[in-house]
Amino acid sequence: MSVADRSRLPLVSRGVRLLLLALAGGLSYAVLSLPDQRVELSDQVSANMAASGVHNPVTAVLLNFRGYDTLLEMGVLLVALLGVWSLGTAVAHRRGGPGPVLSFLVEGLVPMMILMAGYLLWVGAAAPGGAFQAGSVLAAAGILLLLSSKRLPVRLVGRPLRLVLVLGLLAFVVVGVTLLSVNGIFLQYPPGLAGGLILFIEAAATLSIGVTLAALFLGGRPDSDT
Amino acid sequence: MNSGLLYALTGVGLFTLGLNALIMHAHLLRKILAINVMGSGVFLVLVALGGRVPGASPDPVPHAMVITGIVVAVSATALALALMLRVRAATGKPRLPEERQE
Amino acid sequence: MLAGLADTPWSVLVILWPLVGALACFLWPRHANPLGLLAALGSVACVATLAWQVVEQGAQRHAVGGWGAPLGIDLYADGLSLLMLVMTAMVGLGISIYSSGYFDRKTAAVFWPLWLFLWTALNALLLSADIFNLYVTLELLGLAAVALVALAGGANALTAAMRYLLVSLLGSLCYLLGVALLYHSFGSVDIAILAQRVEPLPSVWAATGLMSAGLLLKTALFPLHFWLPPAHASAPAPVSAMLSALVVMASFYILLRLWLEIFPLSGAALGQLLGLLGAAAVLWGGIQALRQTRLKLLIAYSTVAQLGYLFLAFPLGTSFAWKGALYLLLSHALAKAAMFMAAGNILRFGGHDRIADLDRVVQRLPLTLTAFSLAGISLMGLPPSGGFIGKWLLLDAALYSGQWWWALILITGGLLTAAYVFKVVGYAFTPAEVSHEARTVPARMEWTALLLALAAVLLGLFALWPLTLLDIGSPLAGGYAG
């Protein structure tokens, strides 16, 4: 990749830059001219926090008020993985095992990261944290393991792996449909059970997100998959 | 001008810079990175404008939106990178066809 | 039991059924074909029940999570979204049956989860009343579509998929920046609430421009159409059908919703610009289609041209014009899906899609040729097809509002369409010099193409029901509302 990577003629380049400058100017003006008022939606969020089952307003919005967005977003993660898997099998990992530094780090760090993920999941109800944050740390642990050439045993690739991947979505759908059949509204948590249901969904989602992100890192279908 | 507006303007700047890089560069990896920069710009605008009123607690709804957006961006980037590798394997160059002729 | 049926929020089930089907196909890949077909049939049943519910009880609004806008997300099923859902269900069923005969078992295991996720995204998009939720559904739709394009493998499909992915992401990000501006201007992302609160602020102008640009990129309006022909042409045939019929429709639907509900202050200038670009698309797409030597590229450029017609409604702005555009959308979906399926049959049969060599192929596939011709009739706008009704409504609106030049575009476009359709069909009547080595085409592939094409042609005869459906609870209700 050289500096002379640009594939456009200088005149086109100048025109594009002028247009984009105008765009930036217009957008900046639009941003600066926004009315300076407080958004009352955050007041509504605060007012309904007691009924939401958690103390962290972001978790409440993410898993309760706008939980449907989160459901679809888990779908996006899974579709990306399906897409990557459909392109081919995983890129072959390099020959030779991990060096001594990597082995040492993996042995020390991975258990701590798993603990950290569990903590983030738990504390998400009251402080910054939650399913996505915990899932990311779990995925990082998984990537470390993948980098040190560890792979899943063959019998776990296939239906068990696929089950873990869809666990988050399944939890959402099962909880939502159960609540739908009980009181007629999709994903409406009864106030007493809200906290527990959110934790249940988040736990399943953490597992799914962690495994999905680690599998995405692999860049293709696991070799021993059908 | 408070810090919220300043960050929002930075977000606008990132968006525009990313758009410039997306159009001007031919290498696919640079295009993918440009999309990521644009995404970061949009997320910055979303979050920063939520805190533009001085003295009030920040608005949690844009924060949740940005978390959703980050997950979507990560998924899309993963797919884009895997596709880029396959394009290079199939055509020999990590570029889109019309860009190669210039 | 009927009371229970009437109370169930069918809009939720319409979204969940294909989603659960996708998960089932992912968990049991060996049984993907039967599971997928079951999911398809179930989705059609759910949409039918939702249609019954909307017709009986009026537009349905379901507050997911029980919170209601602006705190929560609402699902809104009115006449407009219902019509799009019914169309998606019909074309989706056809594509599902076609695909069960098209793919081998190994590819089918990968195809079905992706296709059912795409269908979920479509249903979720059509029912969503929340502009941020629409962003998430747009991304789900885009990623699934890209993965499906890449299924064909090979350099053409992979580069087309890569280009499509970059374009899709760019469009979504522009859209999201618009959402950010709208949210921070008015404090909500719900469409109904925004419609009440919207004012002509600079941020609203910026959001209008950004969101329109993003959605126009995804709908491939000239000159932002460059990604469409390679993507639609190099994808597997059922994927081309779903892309041309359904995926481009989705972003147009969002643009229409936003235009009618949140951006009415956009004024005449932007509408005229969209009309001009639409006219350019009709002409340019038609001319390019005539120049193609390969069948699937011809059909893809035809999509570019047909999408241009839809934008002729923007400068006209009357209820007739919108209904005409939507009717064109409806018949285009059926006709284009049928055309791509026919092309898939021809490709399967003869191993190639060179138009010049088609005479050796089409004479042995009478059903496919009939399907292609019927689809062409609808695209040309001949009576009694749905295309005729749509063009008639647009012509009427154009002449009524005095903007007669759009009528010229409609007629010229029809002539160009006739030219490239006859170019293909004409080969059926030339005698074949060399008999061709043929592969069999499964019967279901020929019949689904034919039935969809037949539906496109017969749509004109049953125009009353869809047009009155559009009046239920939707912003299109009324006579000449602008």
> Which neighbouring-strand residues pair with C64?
C73
Q: How many other C-beta atoms are found inside a 10 Å radius of the C-beta of residue C478?
A: 11
b/e per residue B55-92 (b: at least 16 CB within 10 A): eeebbbbbbbbbbbbbbbbbbbbbbbbbbbbbbeeebe
Pairwise CB contact (< 8 Å): B75 & A45: no
CB C187 within 8 A of CB C70: yes
Answer yes or no: is pLDDT of C436 > 70.
no
Nearest to C278 by CA among C420, C171, C406: C406
Name the residue of chain C whose CA is nearest to B64's CA: C132
Tokens for C467? 């047009």
Per residue in B74-84, pLDDT tens?
Answer: 999 999 999 99
Residue A8 at interface with chain B, using a CB cutoff of 8 Å: yes
**Residues recorded for chain B:** 102
Pairwise CB contact (< 8 Å): A36 & B72: no
Interface of B with A in 22-81 (CB under 8 A): 23-27, 29-30, 45, 49-50, 52-53, 56-61, 63-65, 67-68, 70-72, 74-76, 78-79, 81
If residue C259 lies in a helix (H) or strand (E), which one and from where to where? helix C248-261
Q: Where are the alpha helices (DSSP H) in C262-358?
A: 267-291, 295-310, 313-316, 319-350
Name the residue of chain C whose CA is nearest to A25's CA: C206
Answer yes or no: is pLDDT of C37 > 90.
yes
Q: Can you give chain A as a three-state secondary structure string?
A: CCCCCECCCHHHHHHHHHHHHHHHHHHHHHHHCCCCCCCHHHHHHHHCHHHHCCCCHHHHHHHHHCHHHHHHHHHHHHHHHHHHHHHCECCCCCCCCCCHHHHHHHHHHHHHHHHHHHHHHHHCCCCCCCHHHHHHHHHHHHHHHHHCCCCCCHHHCCHHHHHHHHHHHHHHHHHHHHHHHHHCCCCCCCCCCHHHHHHHHHHHHHHHHHHHHHHHHHCCECCCCC
If residue C62 lies in a helix (H) or strand (E), which one and from where to where? strand C60-64
How would you class B1 by CB atoms within 10 Å of its CB: exposed for 0-12, middle for 13-18, buried for 19 or more? exposed
Answer yes or no: is pLDDT of A93 > 50.
yes
Q: What is the mean pLDDT of residues B25-52?
A: 94
Per residue in A47-71, pLDDT tens?
Answer: 899 888 899 999 999 999 999 999 9
CA distance B97 to C370: 36
Chain B CB contacts of A73 under 8 Å are 68, 71-72
Q: What is the mean pLDDT of residues C259-272?
A: 79
Per residue in C87-123, pLDDT tens?
Answer: 999 999 999 999 999 999 999 999 999 999 999 999 9
Nearest to A143 by CA among A107, A117, A106, A176: A106
If residue C248 lies in a helix (H) or strand (E), which one and from where to where? helix C248-261
| pLDDT at residue A1 in the model | 42
Report ipTM for this prediction. 0.96
| pLDDT at residue C481 in the model | 36
**For the packed helices C248-261 and C202-219, what is the interaxial angle rounded to 10 degrees?**
160
CA distance B46 to C355: 51
Instruction: Find the radius of gyration of the CA atoms of chain B.
Output: 17
Which has more confidence, A155 or C414? Answer: C414
| pLDDT at residue A4 in the model | 46
DSSP code of residue C334: H
- Domains in chain B and their CATH numbers? 3-91 (1.10.287.3510)
Mean residue pLDDT across chain C: 90
Q: Which of A82-91, B80-89, C399-408, C463-472 has the lowest mean pLDDT?
A: C463-472
Pairwise CB contact (< 8 Å): A36 & B53: yes
Q: What is the mean pLDDT of residues A66-93?
A: 92
Which one of C7, C70, C147 has the shortest CB-CB distance to A86? Answer: C147
Which has more confidence, C365 or B11? Answer: B11
Which has more confidence, C479 or C210? Answer: C210
Split at pLDDT 50, 70, 90, the class of A72 is: very high
Residue A130: C-alpha distances to residues A57, A72, C101 (Å): 11, 17, 44
> Which neighbouring-strand residues pair with B95?
B27
Per residue in A176-225, pLDDT tens?
Answer: 999 999 888 999 999 889 999 999 999 999 999 999 999 999 888 887 65
